[in-house]
Amino acid sequence: MKLAEGNTFEVKKGVPAPLGATVAGACVNFAVSVPGAEEVTLRIYRGNAETPECTVVMDAADRTASVFCVNVKLAGDTPEGGWQYDYEMKGMRFVDPYARLLAGRERFGRRVPAKEERLVRGIVRPSAGIAAQGKPGIAMNDMILYKLHVRGFTKETKSAYAGTYAGLAGKINYLQTLGINAVLLMPVTEFNECFREGDRDESTPYFVSSPYYRGSGMQPRIPEEIAEAADREQKVNYWGYAKHYFLFAPKASYASDPGRADTEFRMMVRKLHAAGIEVLLEMMIPADVNRCMVMDALRFWVREYGIDGFRLSGDAVDLRMAATDPYLSETKILCGGFDAGDIYRATAAPKTPMLAEYNDGFLVDARRFLKGDEAMARAFSERVTKSRNNAGVINYITDHNGFTLADLYSYDVKHNEANGEHGRDGSDYNYSWNCGAEGPDMRKRIRELRLRMRKNAVLAMLLSQGAPMLLAGDEFGNSQGGNNNAYNQDNPTGWVNWALQKRQAEFTTFVRDAIALRKAHPVLHNPIPLRGMDYLSSGAPDVSVHGREAWRPDDSPYNRCLGILLSGDFARVGHEDRDDSFYLMFNMYWEEQTFAIPVLPGRGGFRIAIATDASLKTGETVEGALVIPARTIVVLQSLPAQAGKPVRRTKRNSTEGAKPEGETS
């Protein structure tokens, strides 16, 4: 190694693992992988100083394979802004891809000018130790998942910590009251959110390129005058799905104190855990990312922050490696699709499923059935009853990519004009329905229909065996004005509008009650996959599908009615008492329909547990048959034998179920 003249730090030979800057007392071991390099220069800065305090040229004597490493004893107290560092190879600088925190990225949406590029550097941060203690340990089938964008979730609040990790922590009581026990965070690892027209997916600035991240190539420096001209046409990658991430660094601009973003993120996780809420991270891994680094990153977030799971997407994801890694054996892994038998063929599957299927399958079939498309009853019934051996299933009706729940029943087509892409962005296949009018409408008939459709969507998801996922703000009607691809809308369009909370109190209460019903009854989220068999000889199978006539499923293409019976004999409450049975009835016709109610041996009939039409009163007992209004879901709960005398409901003369104006079948 070679030291710059005037250096006063004690420098000695380092160790090649782990990669990154590892603190041990006053000493820091710097290790960086640079394939094919003969020399790499390490520069250490006192805070935001422009000139380095220490410069070390690492050569062949400091290299193990492709890893260059030295150990530096930092002199004096930690400066304001922390000890910062970067690297240089052949005259080109780069930031450590294993950096635990970045300086120079404190303001969200601000492109760093070329003259300030040298201030984007890694910050030396000590480890907080093992963070696995106190994790909630929610079983996959018990999970009520809530997806949110850290910045957008609280940006519209009056909190001093709006749009930050601390702001999210301030909403813990709200999440508990709603019944949420797990949150899925959209990307929170450091990325450059600024991009220019024509390179929407490209967010890799030249000053953060890493030879370990992208092979041995380095991007040339962009002339300052060209960069400044391009800046005037920039957009903001609000969502954070990019081609380049610093996989070990929490995003500094999501913190109230960017210089301590790692500490604020850690405290947020601890507070959520203390409230019984798990924390999962969404990570998109681009194709050119080193897969070993991806595994290092997953282990790091589990070890350092106590993260409970990940939703992985992208071409560089090695699912088998992640699912069978011993350190991640108690970490949830959500991904598009997989063959669990193939993944676990050489190792035992975890006793508690940690893998989960996360894709749009439920979304498409549920949306189509609920709006009354033909030939969807069978497909929807399979989604409701679907569960997997050795794995879970994530069900959602809305995701960050697409309409919000309020917009799903307010718009027939996307309205993405503000994105500046002339309508070319966003999916054209939304399976939405505006209920008779495009956009906001004050007519009572349309408002009531939209409310009922939103109730149908949430209840259908919560009645399904897979783990439900609610998109933040859907529980009180958050809208994006018909934008189904708000990727660059870092403004009220993309933020959650908390002002709607009081106005939508009825719907929020319905969502909370539906979540509570699901959580109280294991039969609605049975940990054992349903077989459609009576393997306990109880007189009814664990699950059965019906039409308007009991015990007779209707697979005709024009049928829009469905009954699903879940037998409580196949689920236990507290591992002792059998659960109640539930009969789920779906009428997706535009007019009322009469459903026959099955008789179960050893049960005393049914009562209404919850319904999406206000005319059906919770607690009312029924037998024989029930008239269900148009576009309504009713959930019946079994009563003990010898219960009170039931009330038989008969067909009513009503215009309530009349086909809305402009509606098609």
pLDDT over 50 at 202, yes or no = no
pLDDT of residue 117: 85
| Shared domain check, 424 and 378 | yes
What distance in Å separates the CA atoms of residue 86 and residue 119, rounded to the nearest whole number? 9
| Shared domain check, 556 and 493 | no
Is residue 118 assigned to a domain? no
| Shared domain check, 540 and 512 | no
CATH of the domain at 485: 3.20.20.80
Is residue 396 assigned to a domain? yes
CATH of the domain at 616: 2.60.40.1180
pLDDT of residue 494: 97
- Count up the domains in the chain and report the number: 3
Asked if residues 172 and 271 have their Cβ atoms less than 8 Å apart, the reply is yes
| Shared domain check, 502 and 410 | yes
Is residue 432 assigned to a domain? yes
Residue 259: other Cβ atoms inside 10 A? 18
| Shared domain check, 557 and 512 | no
pLDDT over 90 at 182, yes or no = yes
| Shared domain check, 494 and 387 | yes
For the chain, the first-to-last Cα distance in angstroms comes to 76
* Nearest CA-CA partner of 45 in 56, 37, 59: 56
What distance in Å separates the CA atoms of residue 294 and residue 300, rounded to the nearest whole number? 10
% pLDDT > 70, the chain: 89
* Mean pLDDT score of the chain: 89
| Shared domain check, 532 and 595 | yes
> Element (H or E) spanning 510, and its range?
helix 505-520
Which burial class, exposed, middle or buried, applies to 509 when counting CB atoms under 10 A from its CB (0-12, 13-18, 19+)?
exposed
Is residue 382 assigned to a domain? yes
pLDDT over 70 at 83, yes or no = yes
Domain containing 39 equals 2-90
pLDDT of residue 290: 86
Asked if residues 6 and 41 have their Cβ atoms less than 8 Å apart, the reply is no
Q: Is 23 helix (H, G, I), strand (E, B) or coil?
A: strand
User: Which residues are paired to 225 by β-bridges?
Assistant: none
pLDDT over 50 at 483, yes or no = yes
| Shared domain check, 384 and 498 | yes
pLDDT over 60 at 663, yes or no = no
Q: Is 628 helix (H, G, I), strand (E, B) or coil?
A: strand
CATH of the domain at 17: 2.60.40.10
> Element (H or E) spanning 376, and its range?
none
- The set of residues, in sequence order, having a beta carbon less than 8 Å from that of 98 and lying 6+ positions away, is 18, 19, 20, 21, 32, 248, 293, 296
Per-residue pLDDT tens digits for 347-378: 888 888 899 999 999 999 999 999 999 999 99
Which range has highest mean pLDDT (73-77, 116-120, 125-129, 579-583)? 579-583
Write down the residue that tokens 């309409």 correspond to. Answer: 403
pLDDT of residue 199: 46
pLDDT of residue 350: 82
pLDDT of residue 232: 52
Is residue 654 assigned to a domain? no
CB crowding 43-52: b at 16 or more within 10 Å, else e: bbbbeeeeeb
Per-residue pLDDT tens digits for 30-60: 999 998 899 999 999 999 999 999 999 999 9
Greater confidence (134 vs 567) lies with: 567
Is residue 333 assigned to a domain? no
pLDDT of residue 659: 43
Residue 507: C-alpha distances to residues 153, 262, 448 (Å): 19, 36, 11
Give me 245's structure tokens.
């991430």
| Shared domain check, 507 and 409 | yes
Give me 40's structure tokens.
């790499």
For residue 388, give the DSSP letter: B
pLDDT of residue 210: 53
What distance in Å separates the CA atoms of residue 509 and residue 507, rounded to the nearest whole number? 5
Give 612-635 as a DSSP string.
Answer: SSTTS-TT-EE-SEEEE-TTEEEE
Amino acid at 610: I
| Shared domain check, 541 and 414 | no
Amino acid at 50: E
The residue from 520, 545, 567 where one domain ends is 520
pLDDT over 90 at 134, yes or no = no
Is residue 224 assigned to a domain? no
pLDDT over 80 at 220, yes or no = no
Backbone phi and psi for residue 172, each to the nearest 5 degrees, phi listed first: -60, -45
pLDDT over 50 at 87, yes or no = yes
The residue from 520, 535, 556 where one domain ends is 520
What distance in Å separates the CA atoms of residue 561 and residue 579, rounded to the nearest whole number? 26
Per-residue pLDDT tens digits for 573-631: 766 689 999 999 999 999 999 999 999 887 778 999 999 999 999 999 998 999 999 99
Is residue 204 assigned to a domain? no
pLDDT of residue 423: 87
| Shared domain check, 516 and 373 | yes
pLDDT bracket for residue 288 (50, 70, 90): confident
pLDDT over 60 at 342, yes or no = yes
What distance in Å separates the CA atoms of residue 270 and residue 279, rounded to the nearest whole number? 10
Torsion region of 257: left, alpha or beta (phi above 0 gives left; psi -120 to 50 gives alpha): beta
pLDDT bracket for residue 648 (50, 70, 90): very low
pLDDT of residue 642: 61
The residue from 458, 486, 520 where one domain ends is 520
| Shared domain check, 374 and 392 | yes
Amino acid at 522: P
What distance in Å separates the CA atoms of residue 521 and residue 583, rounded to the nearest whole number? 13
Residue 210: C-alpha distances to residues 205, 250, 263 (Å): 11, 18, 25
Mean pLDDT of 285-314: 92
- The set of residues, in sequence order, having a beta carbon less than 8 Å from that of 133 and lying 6+ positions away, is 306
